[in-house]
Amino acid sequence: MAEYLSKAMAFAQDAAKLSKRFGEGLVDNALEFGLDTPGSFYDNAEFKLGQVGRELAAGTDKERVVAMKRLVATVAKGQDASGHFAAVVKNVASGSMELRRLVYMYLQRYAEQEPDLALLAVNTFQRDLADESAMIRALALRVLSSIRVAVIGPIVVVAVRRLATDKSAHVRKTAALAVPKLQRLDAALRDELQDTVAAMLDEGSAVAVGAVVRAFHAVSPRRVELVHGHFRRWCAQLGDLDEWGQVEVAKLLVSYARSQFAGPGVDHDTLDPDHQPTSGPLDPDHALALDALQGLLRSRNSAVVLTAVAGLTQLAPAARLTAVAQPLVRLVRGSRETAYAALGCALQVARRWPAALRGHARSFFVAAADAPFTRRLKLQVLAALAPAEQRGTLVREVAAYTQSAQSDVSAGAVRVLLASARGDTMLDAFRSLLVLAADARAGVAGAAMAAVRQLLLDGTVRDAQTRAMTLYDILCHVARLLDGRAGDAARAHIFALVREFAESRFGCQHALDVLRRGARGFADEGILAKQQIVELSVRLRHGAVGDGILATALQPHAHTLAALHAHVFTLARYDVSFDVRDRARALRALVPLPDDAALPPHVATAAHELLGSAAAVAALAATARPPPEFALGSLALALGRALPGYEPLPDWPATPPAAVDRGPLPSAVTAAPRPAQAISIAGISGRAVPAADYGTPRSAADDDLDAFLDSPDEDARRVLHIPPSLPPAAVVFEQSPPSSVAAGLSSDDSDVSRPQSPPSSAAASSSDDSSEDSSDDEARPFMRSPLDNSNSPPPAAVEGTSQYWQ
Amino acid sequence: MDSLFILNTSGTALIEKHWCDELSIRRASLVVLPAFVRHLHSVPVLSDVEPVWSSPQDTVCIHIQRGELIYLGVVSHEISPIEVIEFLEGVVQALSEYIGQLSEVTIKENFVTVYELLTEMVDSGSIVTTDTAVLRGLVPVPSLVNRVIENVSGIGIGPDKRPNVNTSSTPWRPQGIRHASNEFFVDIIERIDALVDADGLVVSYDVSGDIGCKSRLSGMPDLVMVLNRPEAMDDVAFHPCVRRRKWDSDRMIGFVPPDGQFKLASYHVAMDTSPRSLPLHVNAKSSRKDHVYTVEILLEPGQCSGRPIEKVSVRVPLPQQAYNIGVQCKAGTHAVNNARSPQVEWNIKSMRPGDRGLRLVIQYYVRSNGSAGKGSLSPTDAPVAEQGVTAAFVEFEVAGYSASSIKVDALRLLRESYKLFKGVRYVTKAGTFQVRF
């Protein structure tokens, strides 16, 4: 009894001690963490940097983690925390994974500034490179390669070469990602890296291919001969890669195809969708690349979709480009920023291949809540589509825009109207433009006047004007607008229009009056209008000297004209705007005022030519360099200038290189009873992967997703020992009667949901013939795993998922 | 990609992460960032700032705005803008899966997780992954329990678990997942984007749908989803787990689901634009008599297979100079909001099909333009557009109804023998539903 009592006493004492200690700890921790909320922990990090040295040197793991968190917070805020580098490096071999991760983050940030101290850590990393955990190996290599210290370059190259044949795809991916970093660190390593990368290209795992291609692009982008053997495999594998890998590989395929195949005909610009390209059938490999790219259009990742769209516009014949319309429109409906990027692409497509977006103009209609840049791009797309689009809806929509509260929408609508002014609706459009030219909003009126001027100048309204209104009417109407409150740009366009038609039969009659009007209000005009008045004056003055129609018209008013001309030039000479002063000075040198010195004869002839003929001006304008064209979807296109790293797309070769061996053709393509996009991965399971190099042979099923997924149900059932008669799990959906489900399934999907497919039985068993023979073996290891696991305790992963559900 | 900043709307950097050399780091945080913030503030409305902006020193700022935060990427080399934008969206997605609602406070509370995630997502400037299923293998998810234990006892138990990456052929689904009960829920959410003009004509009517799933299944299940009218979808985008070939040949969605919540597919259905096709008919008129402007809006519920239309809200922005605003309506609540520019909001809890139409009448006056300093414009001469109302925005929600009438016919489970509990929910919402006057 006493024994028990003493035991109980001891137990009680222990419990009391424990609870006291726990209580103290609780208070301590509450002081440090509970009251000090994580948010303020972040806020106060740099004020407590003083404690960090002590905490790192002496403390427990926990204290060191706290210290490291302070440092990382300081780094994350963009403040300097480099002072503790030496103390941090000591913790690089810590047993705590959490601490190590924090140390790694710190190292990557500051190793460049402390190369000598960073070298102390290299040994630890090298040891980790041989760790049995794939994660540790990958992490060590990533940190090692991220340390920007040139001295360790050769060590890392050796590590990369060793881990490039690692058995874990994740480690191989990390090795590939290290290559561009090394290349940047020290360009002298390129040769060594090139060999490593060439060996890496045989990579078969979908996880790592993207990284390998990126490494290839960084080290030896010009070595096309290395791509030949992998081209078909990559085309086939494209759909299974991770999303950013797809972007990378798709780009490589496009630039490869542009350099290796004959162009699909030059008639990209044709408006006619039924027009067949004149060139012959595509190279089968070219078609393979197109199919692979087209498969990416259904990705959920908009970067993948736009890369595929850009690739298709660069590779595909114009007739196939209709495939890009729906995906583009999908992205335009996306978030504000995605829509911005997608509209940039859509604009290029609409300008170059309007037929591809035919029928989709609705999707570019402006919504009232659109941001200004979205509105602008949408209207530009509409303007590009307008000539090919059906008139009815578009015109009604555009008419609504002209009444919009946002003047930029109305101004944009004017441009759409201008673009759609073709054929029989031309006159209506022209009339609307004339009405809009009197709009009270300066921007709208300016745009409308510019459109009117352009239509008059290029002669599209010539036929219409004879029927409805004469040029004289138009010019009078336009000149009358000067009495209104038209904006500067609109007035400038009016003066320019009068000048341009001064030589015509109608224009000559009131040109002088318009000049008088301009001279009278010269001081109140805007800069643009002032310049145009000066030009009008010169034009009339010059025309009066010759013997044209204008000279006859001006004959009786020669004195008035001379006086007006001198007056305008005097006003312009003392104008506040230097643009106006400059213009006046330049023109005065060409057409001197009466009291100026006369021109030397050769200058006079040149001036006469320049002022007299529009052709000379046009020829001058043509010498200006056209804006450079950039690849679709590139940053250069968005900015209008190329940043470093921009590579213009190679042009199609004049004569395509001779046929080369591009590896075994994926069997699905040669067999091809299915639609062309359906590319089997099963076909490439026989690729040349040096399986012997890897530590543990990977089972084929690990890589052949489709083979696994498509293996017939019967096989799976046999493996699982399920009698085939077991009914599929009952499906009870809201709004569908439960009894009809099983029956509805078998009858429905055979006649309704599968209109084109061949009359086959169960979908899964028919979908892949090529993998049928191998599926027996491949499915088994995979299928057994759930059964094995069922007896063991739930693995760690469940914990993570249960958190997810809180 | 050189640097990433997470800013609050006033332009203070909460987190910055760099993947470039020391010089570029200095340039990004000392020159480019301040310049970008100045640019941000030079535009009156924040959402009007163009996502791609050419900043000084030959760098380019690409940003997205989500909630209260701005995510800014700084690049100095050629990279597709969409790649940066999509990556930033991936960052937002991953962060919100890790730490829930994103705000200045939660970012600060979880800065270590944020920083670790950014470290894993980008490797020295090139984007590695944005897939949360992959990231979950690399960076442990901070759970509430872990955090509490860590804070109270000071011993971290969660993060010390060695993470593991899944390199199998289904990177989105690790092996050996167990759940006590096996459940699979499908949410079909359809958004209606429509534009109705003054005459009641439907200018455009599109339905975009998302098939969202919540999966709690054990083992390696293989599911096949059969839809009733797959041919009606003119555009589909899939989660990577979907087998494209099965869709191409049979028009069925076959997939091995990731664990947890994910978006299986999104689709688009072009709808018939005949006048009475919308689930909610809206008629809007605006008129003017002397100095009184009148706006009239008539709402009439359509046939939503008998389901009530809920949370109906009509927003009518009025011109800047409107005053003395009077609103009349028989049903629902209305409010006049005068924050930046006046606007009227009209909320109706629920409308049943077959109900009589509801009417809202707004009357207001317009102040003459004198205060704005544009003395030359007298109010009578200003265009109608500047004084009238140009658009009204409508929002609503119909539960249990899909506008495109796309339904899930069946969901079959292959390769696993357990009983599966399933559920499907349909919701139709208004996306950008706009009525033009």
Q: Output the domain CATH number for residue B130.
A: 3.30.450.60
Q: Which of 127-166 (B) contact A at CB < 8 A?
A: 127-131, 134, 136, 138, 140-141, 143-146, 150-156, 159-165
Q: Which of 168-227 (B) contact A at CB < 8 A?
A: 168-171, 174-179, 193, 195, 197, 203-204, 206, 208, 216, 218-220, 222, 224, 226-227
Q: Quick one: pLDDT band at residue A477, thresholds 50, 70, 90?
A: confident
- Torsion sign, CA atoms B119, B124, B130, B131: negative
Chain-chain contact of B153 with A33 (C-beta, under 8 angstroms): no
Domain boundary among B153, B168, B191: B153
Residue in the structure block whose two tokens are 């094995």: A788
Tell which of A324, A337, A770 to mutate to test the B interface (max B CBs under 10 Å).
Answer: A337
Res A192: pLDDT: 83
Same domain assignment for residues B134 and B9: yes
pLDDT in tens, A407-426: 788 888 888 888 877 766 77
Same domain assignment for residues B118 and B53: yes
pLDDT in tens, A151-167: 888 888 888 888 888 88
Closest Cβ–Cβ partner in B168, B259, B385 for A403: B385
Distances in whole angstroms, Cα of residue A317 to Cα of each of A268, A269, A287, A350, A393: 7, 11, 10, 15, 30
E runs forming strands in B98-166 = 122-123, 126-127
Res B33: pLDDT: 92
| Helix/strand/coil percent split, chain A, to 5 | 70, 0, 30
Residue in chain B nearest A172 by alpha carbon: B167
Burial B18-40 (b: 16+ CB within 10 A, else e): bbbeeebbebbbeebbebbbebb
Average pLDDT over residues A685-699: 36
Q: Output the domain CATH number for residue B209.
A: 2.60.40.1170
The one-letter code for the residue type at A559 is H
Chain-chain contact of B160 with A675 (C-beta, under 8 angstroms): no
Q: Is residue B167 one of the residues assigned to a domain?
A: no
pTM for this one? 0.79
Average pLDDT over residues A625-645: 80
Chain-chain contact of A299 with B254 (C-beta, under 8 angstroms): no
Same domain assignment for residues B322 and B245: no
Average pLDDT over residues A257-281: 58
Closest Cβ–Cβ partner in B79, B167, B263 for A300: B263
Average pLDDT over residues A325-329: 90
Closest Cβ–Cβ partner in B112, B409, B414 for A744: B409
Mean per-residue pLDDT over chain A, rounded? 73
Res A352: pLDDT: 86
Q: Is residue B165 one of the residues assigned to a domain?
A: no
Chain-chain contact of A207 with B171 (C-beta, under 8 angstroms): yes
Q: Is residue B143 one of the residues assigned to a domain?
A: yes
Average pLDDT over residues A313-320: 84
Res B167: pLDDT: 66
Q: Which of 272-311 (B) contact A at CB < 8 A?
A: none
- Residues of B within 8 A of A26 (CB-CB) are 152
Res B72: pLDDT: 93
- Is residue A488's pLDDT more than 80? yes
% of chain A surpassing 70 pLDDT = 72
Question: Half-sphere exposure of A551 toward its Cβ, with a 13 Å CA cutoff?
Answer: 8
Closest Cβ–Cβ partner in B167, B239, B385 for A405: B385
CA A34 to chain centre: 45
Q: Is residue B160 one of the residues assigned to a domain?
A: no
How many domains does chain B divide into? 3
Regions in chain B scoring below 70 on pLDDT: 143-167, 368-388
Q: Which of 32-71 (B) contact A at CB < 8 A?
A: 47-48, 50-52, 54, 58, 60, 63-65
Same domain assignment for residues B91 and B219: no
Reference A370, options B290, B49, B48; nearest CA is B48
Res A38: pLDDT: 59
Q: Quick one: pLDDT band at residue A195, thresholds 50, 70, 90?
A: confident
Which residues are paired to A750 by β-bridges? none
Residue in the structure block whose two tokens are 């006859």: A552
Res B210: pLDDT: 92
pLDDT in tens, B198-228: 777 888 888 999 999 999 888 888 899 998 8
- Is residue A666's pLDDT more than 70? no
Q: Is residue B220 one of the residues assigned to a domain?
A: yes
Q: How far is A653 from chain B (nearest CA, A)?
A: 25
Q: Is residue B170 one of the residues assigned to a domain?
A: no
pLDDT in tens, A709-747: 454 444 443 434 434 443 444 333 334 333 433 333 333
What A88-92 contacts at long range (C-beta under 8 Å, 24+ apart), as own/partner pairs, is A88/A56, A89/A117, A89/A118, A89/A120, A89/A121, A90/A56, A91/A56, A91/A64, A92/A120, A92/A121, A92/A124, A92/A125
Residues B89 and B91: their CA atoms lie apart, in Å, by: 5
- Residues of A within 8 A of B418 (CB-CB) are 729
| Top-confidence residue, B75 or A111 | B75
Q: Is residue B175 one of the residues assigned to a domain?
A: no
Same domain assignment for residues B289 and B221: no
Domain boundary among B137, B153, B169: B153
- Residues of A within 8 A of B83 (CB-CB) are 247, 303, 307
Residues B133 and B260: their CA atoms lie apart, in Å, by: 10
Q: Which of 331-360 (B) contact A at CB < 8 A?
A: none
B196 phi and psi angles, rounded to 5 deg: -115, 130
pLDDT in tens, A56-110: 877 777 788 888 888 888 888 888 888 888 888 888 887 778 888 888 888 888 8
Provide CB contacts within 8 A for A258, sequence distance 6+: A314, A315, A649, A650, A651, A652
Average pLDDT over residues A445-474: 74
Same domain assignment for residues B236 and B385: no
pLDDT in tens, A211-238: 899 888 888 877 888 888 888 888 888 8
Res A677: pLDDT: 35
Q: How far is A625 from chain B (nearest CA, A)?
A: 23
Q: Which of 83-102 (B) contact A at CB < 8 A?
A: 83, 85-89
| Top-confidence residue, A42 or A673 | A42
- Residues of A within 8 A of B436 (CB-CB) are 368, 400
Could you tell me the residue range of the domain that residue B236 belongs to?
A: 183-274+401-436
Same domain assignment for residues B256 and B288: no
| Top-confidence residue, A266 or B145 | B145
Q: Is residue B74 one of the residues assigned to a domain?
A: yes
What string of DSSP letters covers A693-755?
A: GSSSPPPHHHH-HHHHHHS-HHHHHHHHT--TTSPPPP---TTS-THHHHHHHHHHHHHTS-S
- Helix or strand run (H / E) with residue B4: strand B3-8
Rounded (10°) angle between helices A471-480 and A442-457: 160
Residue in chain B nearest A96 by alpha carbon: B160
Count helices and strands (H / E) in chain B: 9, 23
pLDDT in tens, B112-140: 888 889 988 888 888 888 888 888 877 87
ipTM: 0.89
Same domain assignment for residues B352 and B418: no
Same domain assignment for residues B384 and B428: no
Res B156: pLDDT: 46
- Residues of B within 8 A of A805 (CB-CB) are 216, 260
Same domain assignment for residues B360 and B414: no
What string of DSSP letters covers A295-315?
A: HHTTBS-HHHHHHHHHHHHHH
Same domain assignment for residues B295 and B427: no
Same domain assignment for residues B294 and B417: no
